[in-house]
Amino acid sequence: MKIHKRLHEEGTKAILITLAVVAVVAFIVNWFWPVQAWWHYLLYSFFLLALVLVVRFFRVPIWRKTTLAENAVLAPADGVIAANEVVVEDEYFHDKRRQISIFMSIYNVHINFFPFDGEVAFYKYHPGKFLVAFNPKSSSDNEHNTIVLKDAKGREILVRQIAGFVARRIVCDLKPGDKAVAGEELGMIRFGSRVDVFLPLDAEISMKIGEKTIGKETVLARLK
């Protein structure tokens, strides 16, 4: 699905609810305390900040351009590299893989992107808990989506969207056989979360823990 709008369609409901809450609270406040005082303006500033944050959360980075180099795996999300370790991936691969975790704060763009060209080889949604995203168990215990992508050479990587303590909705409309185009939308996670990428052990990792990623632009790794 190509992105053309500046705000994601998933934000419509959240923005309208925020506007409604702000309007109702402002009406009640001014009904009981009609004389404007300093705290009124402080409250209005808070309302404006809340609205800006919600609108900003659903922004679409239409200004970004994807340039996919040979064998490159792009970052599927904005955020900070929170983990880089070898783990046993026991849902699909059932062997050891290099896990790279990207933590997404509420300030990041929350759209997730396909990291390379290929197709969706596997997809499964898992209901679950809402542990904080930094918790090691969140990868398996939290609500999450597992998406396996296969490129033209048969190489596979696994991308896992994980709902965090604040995030309560994972958006993804994929099925096996769907085409994956590097830089196009894979889905999104609302209000703070994490994305794990499971790579072959011989993949050359380009990012270090603590470094920031820019979704669909940053080269996360290179495959052999």
Catalytic residue positions, numbered: 193
* pTM of the complete model: 0.82
Query: For residue 98, is pLDDT > 60?
Result: yes
- Rounded-to-integer distance, Cα 28 and Cα 34, Å: 10
pLDDT tens readout for residues 37-86: 999 999 999 999 988 888 887 888 888 888 888 899 999 999 999 999 99
Whole-number Cα distances in Å, 122 to 63, 95, 149, 177: 30, 16, 7, 8
pLDDT tens readout for residues 144-168: 899 999 999 999 999 999 986 554 5
Query: For residue 130, is pLDDT > 70?
Result: no
pLDDT-based confidence at residue 1 (cuts at 50, 70, 90): very low
pLDDT tens readout for residues 166-211: 545 788 889 999 999 999 999 988 766 889 999 999 999 999 999 9
The predicted structure's pLDDT at residue 149: 97
Query: For residue 19, is pLDDT > 80?
Result: yes
Phi and psi angles of residue 102, each rounded to the nearest 5 degrees, phi first:
-115, 115
- Rounded-to-integer distance, Cα 200 and Cα 16, Å: 43
The predicted structure's pLDDT at residue 4: 44
Query: For residue 142, is pLDDT > 80?
Result: no
The predicted structure's pLDDT at residue 169: 72
Query: For residue 3, is pLDDT > 50?
Result: no
